[in-house]
Amino acid sequence: MKNLTLENITQACRGVYRGDAAFLSEEVTGVVIDSRKVEKGNLFVAIDGERFNAHRFIPDTIEKGALCVVSHEDLGETDFPYILVESTGQALLDIAKLYRDSFDLKVVGITGSVGKTSTKEMIASVLSQKYKTHKTLGNFNNEWGLPLTIFQLNEEHEAAVLEMGVNHFGEMRRLSSVASPDVCVITNIGVAHLEFFKTREGILQEKSQMIQDMKAGGSILLNGDDDLLSRMGPVKGVTPVFFGTGDNCQFRADNIQALGLRGTACTIHLPDGSFFACVVPLPGAHMISNALAGAAAGYTLGLTPEEIKAGIEGLPSIPGRGNIIRTSHLMILDDCYNANPISTRAAIDVLDMAIGRKVAVLGDMGELGTDTDTLHREVGAYCAEKGVDVVCAIGSLARHLAEGAAANPQTEVHWFETRDDFLDSMKDILAEGDNVLVKASHGMNFPELVEALQQF
């Protein structure tokens, strides 16, 4: 891997090299933290998990052909080289920073409370019309996932779209200092992780720290429809550019027309006065915001309106994130990867576009702090307000969601303690032709529920 010699790695993570000096000039073939994935010539970074000590797998990695190991335990005299560091987690970030800085490419950094992954996919789809583009793998957006994504860069890549997710103060700089973005995108400031950030202003404070690591001459792209982001002024001498539907936005959408679950048509206006009509192929008003973020990033990095339009209209669907699944009996809106009040309301809005009976299967939303019960109840009330025909709430927290949904006597409401309880009753609740939204926090394991619905 480019620039990843054992000597450079040792210096980057401020470690102490133990082993034959003849190996110092050797480049590793890859960087892994999972001992099961080690291949010949790899560097194994031994990061301990909550329930295991990764260092006990070191002999296995050497047997598989690992060139070197990074350890925070002193291994003493060994017949293989290793680098002793204070923290293997920090070492992983340091090595990723070394590797990222080896490439001359444009990096778009994305953060926000809701929609990071779908925005990442949209921006990557747009940029790929002009550049060979790398993007965050799945949801690999934390202190382990970001480095692993960066280690997948190669000489062919001309741009990278890197998602950064945080849930505690101080985490963003650890990520953004590695990503060193040229373009900083913040999707919104919601109520996800209020348990740790306490207020939306606290969330804004932490998320916006990404801008501190923006490269000189960089650009800041913010959702101008967000009340907190829209008030942000210059940071590091750079004035933010806004995307949204308001008059304050340089990248603006109008003529918005819902096409049901087939997507949304709109006209996108660019700062130079040009505009184009397009169809965002995934349903939901929030997808317009994603499309505008894609347009803003593409325009900033030199794409033409025609290229931007092609990238928006060519957006692929992602399992678990607004994915429409048509079976012979149901129309399933698979949005089950994760959930918070804002994203769940957005998903309910999408369900509201459907033709026919509308069923919302909603689970617990985690990490909402002291207002958890109220926030669940408000989401249930939103289902009632939108006239959802059937609400199936699953989980201990979702009991409050069911209470909120019961505000509309026309809404049929069911509460289940577990996912399996719902599955046992599913055939008595669902009917031929139903439109079914599935959404919950990741820990609820609702992808299995989506699979079961496909067999209905």
pLDDT of residue 141: 87
The pLDDT of residue 318 is above 80? no
The pLDDT of residue 258 is above 90? no
**Chosen domain end from 95, 119, 144:** 95
Mean pLDDT of 272-295: 93
Q: What is residue 286's three-state secondary structure? A: helix
pLDDT of residue 317: 77
pLDDT of residue 224: 97
Residue 318 belongs to a domain? no
If you search the block for the tokens 């304050």, which residue do you land on?
Answer: 248
CATH at 375: 3.90.190.20
Let me know whether 172 and 41 are in one domain: no
Residue 260 belongs to a domain? yes
Sheet containing strand 159-163, edge to edge, reads: 133-135, 159-163, 106-111, 183-186, 219-223, 241-244, 251-258, 264-269, 275-280
pLDDT of residue 81: 97
If you search the block for the tokens 């202003």, which residue do you land on?
Answer: 201
pLDDT of residue 193: 60
Q: For the chain, what is the domain count?
A: 3
Residue 1 belongs to a domain? no
Let me know whether 362 and 220 are in one domain: no
Residue 124 belongs to a domain? yes
Q: pLDDT tens across 154-178, in order?
A: 999 999 999 999 888 989 999 999 9
- Find the helix or strand (DSSP H, E) in which 203 lies: helix 200-207
In the numeric block, which tokens belong to residue 109? 């950094």
Let me know whether 331 and 307 are in one domain: no
For residue 433, CA distances in Å to 72, 158, 354, 356, 361 come to: 57, 45, 11, 7, 16
Mean pLDDT of 417-434: 96
Average model confidence (pLDDT) for the chain?
A: 94
CATH at 225: 3.40.1190.10
Query: If we measure between CA atoms, which residue out of 125, 91, 123, 87 comes closest to residue 107?
Result: 123
Residue 187 belongs to a domain? yes
**Chosen domain end from 68, 95, 122:** 95
Amino acid (1-letter code) at residue 221: L
Confidence category of residue 192, pLDDT binned at 50, 70, 90: low
Let me know whether 50 and 190 are in one domain: no
Let me know whether 207 and 126 are in one domain: yes
Q: pLDDT tens across 7-19, in order?
A: 999 999 999 999 9
pLDDT of residue 451: 95
Let me know whether 160 and 273 are in one domain: yes
Confidence category of residue 427, pLDDT binned at 50, 70, 90: very high
Query: If we measure between CA atoms, which residue out of 316, 353, 347, 315 comes closest to residue 334?
Result: 347
Distance (Å, whole) CA 336 – CA 442:
7
Residue 147 belongs to a domain? yes
If you search the block for the tokens 């340091």, which residue do you land on?
Answer: 94
pLDDT of residue 312: 98
What is the DSSP annotation of 113-173?
A: SS-HHHHHHHHHHHHTTTS-EEE--TT--STTHHHHHHTT--TT-SEEEEE----STTHHH
* 281 close to 263: Cβ distance less than 8 angstroms: yes
CA angle 162, 163, 169 (to 5 degrees): 125
Q: What is residue 72's three-state secondary structure? A: coil
Q: What is residue 415's three-state secondary structure? A: strand
* CB neighbour list of residue 116: distance below 8 Å, 6 or more residues apart: 110, 141, 163, 164, 165, 187
Let me know whether 263 and 152 are in one domain: yes
Let me know whether 253 and 387 are in one domain: no
Mean pLDDT of 315-332: 86
**Chosen domain end from 295, 313, 331:** 313
The pLDDT of residue 64 is above 90? yes
* CB neighbour list of residue 36: distance below 8 Å, 6 or more residues apart: none
- Find the helix or strand (DSSP H, E) in which 421 lies: helix 419-429
Q: State the residue range of the domain holding 79.
A: 6-95
Between 217 and 355, the more confident residue is: 217
Let me know whether 410 and 274 are in one domain: no
pLDDT of residue 191: 73
Query: If we measure between CA atoms, which residue out of 208, 140, 143 comes closest to residue 171?
Result: 143
Sign of CA dihedral 124, 341, 450, 149: positive
The pLDDT of residue 362 is above 80? yes
CATH at 10: 3.40.1390.10
pTM of the model: 0.80
Distance (Å, whole) CA 54 – CA 72:
10
DSSP summary character for residue 68: E
Query: If we measure between CA atoms, which residue out of 415, 319, 420, 321 comes closest to residue 362?
Result: 415
Distance (Å, whole) CA 279 – CA 300:
21
pLDDT of residue 372: 94
Let me know whether 301 and 359 are in one domain: no
Query: If we measure between CA atoms, which residue out of 431, 402, 433, 429 comes closest to residue 415?
Result: 402
Of 36-40, 100-104, 126-130, 369-373, the one with minimum mean pLDDT is 369-373
Distance (Å, whole) CA 70 – CA 90:
11
Please give the share of the chain, as a percent, with pLDDT higher than 90: 83
pLDDT of residue 250: 98
Let me know whether 291 and 366 are in one domain: no
The pLDDT of residue 138 is above 80? no
Let me know whether 173 and 280 are in one domain: yes
Mean pLDDT of 428-439: 96
Distance (Å, whole) CA 432 – CA 424:
17
pLDDT of residue 194: 66
> How many other β-carbons are positioned within 10 Å of the β-carbon of residue 169?
14
pLDDT of residue 167: 81
If you search the block for the tokens 């990764």, which residue do you land on?
Answer: 54
Mean pLDDT of 132-142: 88
Phi, psi of 266 (to 5 degrees): -165, 170
Between 310 and 52, the more confident residue is: 310
Distance (Å, whole) CA 363 – CA 360:
10
pLDDT of residue 259: 85
pLDDT of residue 243: 98
In the numeric block, which tokens belong to residue 244? 């949204």
